[in-house]
Amino acid sequence: MNSPILRLIYFFIIECLAYTKTREQFGKPIASFQMIQGHVVEMLSNLTAMQTMVFRLSEMQDEGILKDEHASLAKVFCTKKTRDIVSRAHEVLGGNGILLEYEVAKFVADAEAIYSYEGTKEINSLIVGRSITGFSAFV
């Protein structure tokens, strides 16, 4: 995953947060609800972890020590976290999360494309597993 994708996820989270501040339920913004705040915190935590991992990978590349298994581990982690962020955003927006006027519906498709385009979790996991164990599980 490259930094443009991480920037896109950042702006996606910002839009979701803005929605929580304007959407009212029971006479107050849903941003004031515990579960909504929990989802937003998890979304931001996931993004921060992804940014940290990608930053470290860029350092490793600059140092000339980046290996395929490092990139595969990041792909597994980041694509799973992207899907989690999208899922949480869908939860936050509720029924509006499937409407095209909100970015969540579009981003669901984008997240799935990223998940597939970056190589499947299973293949990237096999690359990392081979590195960790010394045994190839490729059939």
Residue numbers annotated as active site: 118
Q: Helices in the chain by DSSP H: which ranges?
A: 3-22, 34-63, 68-93, 103-117, 121-133
Q: Residue 89: which of 110, 104, 79 has the closest Cα?
A: 104
- Six-digit token pair at 108? 């669901």
Residue closest to 58 by CA, chosen among 73, 70, 72, 43: 70
Measure Cα distances from 28 to 10, 36, 42, 72 in Å: 25, 13, 22, 44
